[in-house]
Amino acid sequence: MNQKTNKVICGLVFCFLVMQISVGQTYSSEDPNTNETVTLNGTNVSEGVFNSFFDTNSAPTTRPGSAVFLTQIGEDNNARVQVVAQASDINIVQNGNDNDVNLKYQVKSVFTDLYQNGNNNYITDYSIETNQDISLNLKQNGDNLNFERFGTNEISKNIKFTQTAASPTIIIRSFK
């Protein structure tokens, strides 16, 4: 090969590498230092501090496609899942007997991780808010634990916690 051909090939390889690096960059226009506040018992609290008490995410990461993964170990475990969404990722693990999950979503996207470890545990989650991205990460460790969420709003759209015998029943009714 001659020297001119080598320069052309090196130039093309360099341009290809630079283009790959520039395409791989991500831009986020959201300012993490926003000063939005939430009023809690008459006191203004920043949204970040408020969300830290509930371990909520500001927004779930949207991935295209839909998937439901179900693992059941035990007897008489039930899971009913109805989803209408642009993207969804539902993971349900039931380890024990007589556990029940009932999910109904009509949302923009939903990401749910549910773990039931014990017997006679119950999870119901309904949300019909077609322009909302929601998530639920719930671990039930113990027996006779109940969780219900009917609808979502800005405060309750992303929930993550572990439920034990110390809080056997949790009901969240979210309205705008």
Query: What is the pTM assigned to this prediction?
Result: 0.65
Give the DSSP H/E element, type plus range, for residue 119.
none
Mean pLDDT of the chain: 82
The CA-to-CA distance between both ends of the chain, in Å, stands at 71
**What token pair was written down for 14?**
């360099």
pLDDT interval class at 13 (50, 70, 90): confident
Instruction: Identify the residue with better confidence: 23 or 17.
Output: 17
The single-letter DSSP state of residue 61 is P
Tens digit of pLDDT for each residue in 110-145?
A: 999 999 999 999 999 999 988 999 999 999 999 999
Q: Where are the chain's structural domains?
A: 49-173
**Contact of 143 with 117, CB cutoff 8 Å:** no
17 compared with 38, residue with greater pLDDT? 17
Length, in residues, of the chain: 176
- In this prediction, residue 51 carries a pLDDT of 58
93 — pLDDT class (breaks 50, 70, 90): very high
Mark out the alpha helices in 32-123 (DSSP H runs).
47-54
Average pLDDT score over residue span 145-160: 93
Residue 39 — very low, low, confident or very high, per pLDDT cuts 50/70/90? low
Q: How far is CA 143 from CA 93, 101, 166, in A?
A: 15, 14, 11
| Lowest-pLDDT range of 16-25, 60-69, 85-94 | 16-25
Higher-scoring residue by pLDDT: 169, 51: 169
Mean pLDDT throughout 29-53?
56
- pLDDT at position 166 over 80: yes
3-state DSSP helix/strand/coil % of the chain, to nearest 5 = 15, 50, 35
**Is pLDDT at 75 greater than 80 in this prediction?**
yes
Residue 37: Cβ within 10 Å count? 14
Residue 62's pLDDT is 52
